A and B are shown apart, each in its own frame.
Chain A
Amino acid sequence: MTLMIKFGLSAIASQFGKKGWLGLNRRASVRPMQRIYFIIALATGPLASAVDFERDIYPIFEEHCIECHGPDKQKSEFRIDQRSRVLRGGDSGIPGIVPGNPVESFLIEVLKDPDPEFRMPSEADPLSSDQIELIEAWITEGSEWPGQMDVVVEEVSSDHWSFQPVNRAESPVTAEQAIDAFLLEKLDEAGLSPNPAADSRSLIRRVSIVLTGLPPVPERVRAFQKAYAANPSASYSDLVDELLASSHFGERWGQHWLDVIRWAETNGSESNLYRKNAWVYRDYVVRAFNDDKPYDQFIREQIAGDSMDAGEATGFLVSGSHVPPQSVGREETAIRQARADRMDEIVQTVGASMVGMTMGCARCHNHKFDPITISDYYSMTGIFQDIEFGGRRPEYSEDHPKRQKAAPLWEAIAEQRKILKSLGNWEEDWGGYRELYFDSVKTRKIRISFQTPNAKIDELEVFGDKERQKNLALASNGATVDGPIEMFGDVRTNFAYANDGEYGAFGLQLKAPKKSDEKPWVVVSFDGPQEINRLRLSSNREYYYEVDYQSVEFPMGFSNYRLEVENEAGDWVEVASISKINTANKNQPKRAAAIAKIATVAEKLAEVGPQVSFVGRFVEPVVTRVLSRGSPESPRNEVMPAAPMILAGDLGLSSDSTGSERRVQFADWVASSENPLTARVMVNRIWHHVFGMGIVPTTSDFGKAGALPSHPELLDWLAAEFVEPSTSGGEPWSVKALIRLIVMSDAFRQSSQPNDAGLAADAGSSLLWRFPPRRVEAEVIRDAVLLASGSLDDSIGGRGYRIHNAKKTYSQWEVVNNYGPETWRRMIYQERMRRVDDNMFTAFDFPDCGQVRAKRPISTTPLQALNLLNSKFVQEQADRLAERSIKDSADDDLEAQIRRSFQLIFNRDPDDEELAASIEVVKESDLSLVCRSLINSNEFAFLP
């Protein structure tokens, strides 16, 4: 029907001269519906000749455009001499012309752009307004282009390798031998042969660090060496199983995942505030790897865990940095830009970690290298329209320990409320807000009158029993807030802040004039009469729930108040008064006891129950539009929530789909075994963490700008094996099974020693003629020092340890103590502060969590040396290592003490020369100094 109207109109339109069209067209741009009436109205007017493409339009193109956008050159991938190409548009991703609609046609936009940087023709005078009007008229008339009307706009296609289905190559050998077979083929081609097996000490050190991030203890090394001598294969296989079952496995592999998504516990930006309880996501990730959660399930939960009883997993989506509203400022444009930036962070997270695509490039124009259009980018933001950076109580499964612990506490509270209900009105203090309970009353309006001159309200909520969770005072539910405008305590405040659904950011601030008896008050008018029985008030709930470690507290910014409702006669009737409640509490011990009991239980609940955690909060999705040149000030056509079209990304979603539905559908698309990228990206990532380099070296970019796989068949074989294991009983998407397969290979077990032929042909060892040695990560150094000195507290999970100060909102985190006993946990539990130098391991390429970090660079700097030589951490740990070595050895047996230190750091004894040199140092100084050297050595810092 729509189409017919359109065609009909074009036909009518084409009978009009250009003059008649233009005035009309400007008005028509305002509201499409109006256009129809105008056209019909004008259809009775005098007829004039239509715009003729060949006579009127093409000469303009030829003179001003074709040189850069024609057969010879297609600047910005735009070509103006073919109708289909003009329809499709260029890099901007926006159609050059939309027949019948000059307003939506990018061609017109660039011709008229006031900014010479963007205006076309480039570096030339703009077209005359007559010329532009002519082109507009031509577009309005349907962009008639003789001879080319039937040419279809080509679908985007790609023959890029990573977009093709995974193709499992025939392997003549068993799954266990397949990796080595693929590698050998390439080595043969290069005339290289693999190294012999590594010695057993190097092997156990290597596999322990790769799998758990911790070196083995000397006793385990000795036992392994003995078993290995008797039966290398079985003993190694047992060792691998033991390590995979260790709960430290999840810490190591969890950290790899957190790196990629630059997860941190602060916002970044100016205030860099702490994200309260964000660590529940870190624990989720560690647990997922330890439990060997199938990778497809891991994906689904992180994107849509709220509907899968794994609410904390959505911490994934808000892992990037964001600028909180206070720092965004109050300009509408800045607020829109900040929201667009937050969506971009989400798209980057998902793109880099799971899809292996750098979507961000398509934010302003079509991707330069990959078939990702600007529409694809905004369609993907459409998936996450309901996500906002903030906290909520995560959806936990019923058997989640937090819920188990909370259930009886809620019962206890209900019991007390029953008592209170029989005794009148009461108020509960929930820390972040106060809640007033009163008898149900039906009214259109309520009035809150404060008893002191100041009141700050970030949110005011009213509830009834009909829909217990529906906030009837919310603006989007039709309510309005009003009050004495002359009492605004700040020029920037506004009544709307009290019921905008936003906690914290900007509150309503009222202040009574000095020497006046008047006090602040507000009136809330509902959308019609409502049955109400609860009022919830807060001053800065955001800070209470989402921020921690502030050196200043944020008490409630309002005093006792009276609550009145408007009766049918239009009179105000008091329903509750906080001071009367307080008096009643004093006079009635039963009331006071019940209130006290609720307060105690509430406090307990806040500790053991599900807490508001920084894992994202939900907002109503709005219609998603393409933002021309990435600017929120230039919204264009509506797009549906979808994955990239080149990857069959239509998910059947629309702007009406719920937020949860969008994410569930998208998660299914990512986690599909048919998605050619998901499995490839993950197996490559795992390979990278095992060997120090990926089969595709650009581990988060499988697009055209990324590197090609060094072993494509192997990559596909691994991806296929990951999704559909060929071994009997193999679990699909098992990360542990895949890692096991890789570390069981001869390639992993071979020695890392160099040889001339290998170095000459393949210095980077990418063909794996040896196991490539590499400097270990910051965490491995720190954790291994603590382990060796016997200091490591290896408890898993929970709130992290902190090395920083408590601070004011706008000041920097400073390192207070990065060495004391309370920091002797694994480094994954060090509170992750964005862009804060820890004065120790930042120098070791420990990420600043600003941008996604698919792999850490490995650099060598003198600052690393200074930190490892002189920091308090190393001084103290060297002492502790020496003390332990002395304690573990027989009295005064200096050689035994030194041997013990070497064992604890290197898992080996010193040779004669090393022993002699060490003895000399101890005699002249002490064993701690020897330990200082050991901690600084290359052998300790490198994976053998």
Chain B
Amino acid sequence: MDNLAEHISSHGRALLNRRDFLRQSGMAMGGIGLTQLLAQDGLLASDNLTVSGKTPIRPQIDPNNPYTPRASHFPAAAKQVLVIYCPGAVSHVDTFDYKPELTRFHGKKPPGIPQVTFEGPTGNIAKPFWDFRPRGKSGKMVSDLLPHLGGMVDDFSFFHSLNTQTSAHPQGENFFNTGFTMEGFPSFGGWVTYALGTENQELPAFVAINDPRGMARSGKNNFGNGFLPAAYQGTDFNAKNPPSNLARPNRYSPTDDKRTVDLLNRLNSKHLEGYPDDADLAGRIASYELAGKMQVSVPDVMGLSHEPESIHKEYGTDSGSNTKREYAKNCILARRLVEKGVRVVQLFNGSDPSGGNGITNWDSHNEILKTHAMQAEIMDQPTAALIHDLKRRGLLDQTLVVWCTEFGRMPFLQANGTGRDHNPDAFTCFLAGAGVKKGFSYGESDEFGFKAAVDPTSVYDFNATVLRLLGLDHERLTYYHNGLERRLTNVHGQVVKEVMA
């Protein structure tokens, strides 16, 4: 028998096994039904372990109100989070990651530079397009491109050794914001509101403030709910455009609205009599009350005219390009939302590149000197004012600020070009505010800023750290979907404790 087995092909063996499988299982199963077998199996899906072997912490969600505030896993200073996302990939070597070697090798092509990167053939090393100088008490080197943010480095914790999994924007945005390069996974903001609910029941728990120029390349995927319930998607509005269908249409008077709702309540109460204590029905009735409150509270929070002129001046709503003025208003809106206790505010600085590379976002393949300057003009002053304003009002004590972009840019130019291509292997982001070390830098890229060198940090690590700062265990914050306890960090990620205050 052994001899036979040795001589037959792997196909043949598998076929033999198949017959055995059917026969054996047939015999084994002959007498007992499935029930007994299941009883032996014991575990129910709800008791699944996560892939890393931990027990999930499932938020207790009240169907009547999916946004009820819930406790974090650990005590944490940060109760809220403001994410400032810069689509298009900000050049780290021209902003926060000082690399004097680039000046030394300017115009040269040292060994180790690849022949082809995302957009094609590579050119020579280019020194930073802006001069760097020491800033703040910490003396952190920041370029002249971002003087306002540069002035605040003593409040920031930089990550200089970030690396990501893709050099394409949409996948990069997906990966940063959802933990997966593919589409359809819950966004960071979705995960946080699913875990924590929100304090202010009259405003959305998660607001996505899109850039005045439009949505980023991955669109709604950056703030979507993925497979989480729709309750945890980001509500999309900015200083200019309120959420769709929020306003009472002109044709209805306030009395019309009241009549509609009164009649609706009467119909619903009668219907509820047939289903006493039905939580789904009661929850839907409650959602109409909340909608009514939002019709008041959202326009209220959008009322930037109540802000003093000094604030407008500080943020820069009165100077510079139109886009900058609009973005500055978005920044004031972001502060007002944080002030009102909105759990997650995601502020975008950049949109889809239909206007050309480097024009509508940070994707400076061409003329980086001009295009990065355009983006910086929009981003720098308002963003710095926003963080400063939060600090002044004491809101940074309970708010985590995350400034980020999907990847970096290359230390060399594109062949015969004036811009830098995508760099997935090294880039810089920073944290500030609640629970974050001040005036600190973690990790280093190599001498050219080409690859992460010291303490390489993945986007998983970064997201795990951000969740940890919000008091959440990235390995236990899970949602069962299609066979797995899914997480923001998939099966990876290590908290970078070094940046925690």
Contacts and interface: CB of A to CB of B under 8 A. Distances in A.
Nearest to B417: A491
A262 B184 CA distance: 10
A939 B264 CA distance: 10
Nearest to A755: B276
Interface string A315-349: 00000010100011111101001000100010000
A269 to B, nearest CB: 5
Nearest to B114: A331
Interface stretch (A50-58, A517-525, A841-849): A841-849
**How big is the B interface, by class?**
35 or more
Given A341-B182, A859-B229, A938-B271, A358 B120 contact: no
A411 interface: no
A861 B66 contact: yes
Interface stretch (A38-46, A575-583, A880-888, A923-931): A923-931
Given A327-B170, A706-B45, A773-B275, 14 more contacts: A165-B29, A341-B181, A491-B415, A492-B120, A712-B33, A754-B276, A810-B352, A835-B224, A836-B220, A842-B230, A843-B230, A845-B229, A937-B267, A939-B271
Contact of A358 (B25, B167, B285, B482): B482
Interface stretch (B78-86, B239-247, B436-444): B239-247
Interface string A920-944: 0100110001101110111101100
Contacts of A103: none
Given A700-B482, A709-B34, A861-B287, A849 B120 contact: no
Given A703-B483, A861-B66, A492 B29 contact: no
Given A835-B183, A839-B244, A851 B29 contact: no
13 contacts: A155-B17, A369-B48, A700-B483, A705-B45, A707-B46, A753-B275, A808-B354, A837-B220, A852-B482, A858-B280, A862-B287, A937-B267, A942-B281
A870 B6 CA distance: 74
B168 A328 contact: yes
Q: Which of B117, B220, B483 counts the most A-chain CB atoms under 10 A from its CB? A: B483
B311 interface: no
Nearest to B120: A492
A645 interface: yes
B235 interface: yes
Q: Ordered nearest first, which 6 A-B pairs have the shortest CB separation? A: A850-B184, A358-B483, A851-B184, A650-B14, A859-B229, A707-B45
A933 B249 contact: no
A704 B45 CA distance: 8
A775 B231 CA distance: 15
B291 interface: yes
A708 B44 CA distance: 6
A530 interface: no
Given A165-B26, A492-B119, A705-B48, A866 B483 contact: no
B220 A835 contact: yes
Nearest to A367: B483
Contacts of A914: 266-267, 270
A848 B256 contact: no
Interface stretch (A156-164, A212-220, A288-296, A620-628): A156-164
B263 to A, nearest CB: 4
Contacts of B204: 862
Nearest to B214: A812
Nearest to B252: A929
Interface string B185-226: 100000000000000000010000000001101111100101
Interface stretch (B35-43, B132-140, B148-156): B35-43
Interface of A: 3, 155, 159-161, 163-165, 167, 169, 262, 268-270, 272, 321, 323, 327-332, 334, 337, 341, 345, 352, 357-358, 361, 368-369, 491-492, 640, 645, 648, 650, 652, 674, 697-698, 700-701, 703-709, 712-713, 715-716, 752-754, 759, 773-775, 807-808, 810-812, 834-837, 839-840, 842-845, 848-854, 857-867, 869-872, 875, 911, 913-914, 917-918, 921, 924-925, 929-930, 932-934, 936-939, 941-942
B25 A706 contact: no
A853 B226 CA distance: 10
Contacts of A862: 204, 287-288, 290-291, 294
A650 B18 contact: yes
B45 A708 contact: yes
B276 A859 contact: no
B416 A491 contact: yes
Contacts of B294: 862, 866
B267 A933 contact: yes
Given A707-B46, A866-B243, A936-B288, A674 B120 contact: no
A712 B35 contact: yes
Contacts of B38: 161, 708-709, 712
A885 B12 CA distance: 72
A862 B245 CA distance: 11
Contacts, number: 326
Given A491-B121, A650-B18, A706 B33 contact: no
Interface string B8-38: 0011001101100110011011000111011
Q: Which among B17, B117, B184, B276 has the greatest number of chain A C-beta atoms within 10 A?
A: B184
B371 to A, nearest CB: 16
A913 to B, nearest CB: 7
Contact of B285 (A165, A933, A938): A938
A865 B285 CA distance: 9
A335 B171 CA distance: 13
B280 A775 contact: yes
Nearest to A839: B244
A934 B271 CA distance: 12
A706 B483 contact: yes
Contacts of A155: 17
B245 A866 contact: yes
Contacts of A869: 245, 257, 260, 288, 291
A811 B354 contact: yes
Contacts of A861: 66, 230-231, 287
Interface string B373-408: 000000000000000000000000000000000000
A163 B95 CA distance: 57
Contact of A870 (B44, B245, B270, B278): B245
A705 B120 CA distance: 44
B35 A773 contact: no
A808 B351 CA distance: 14
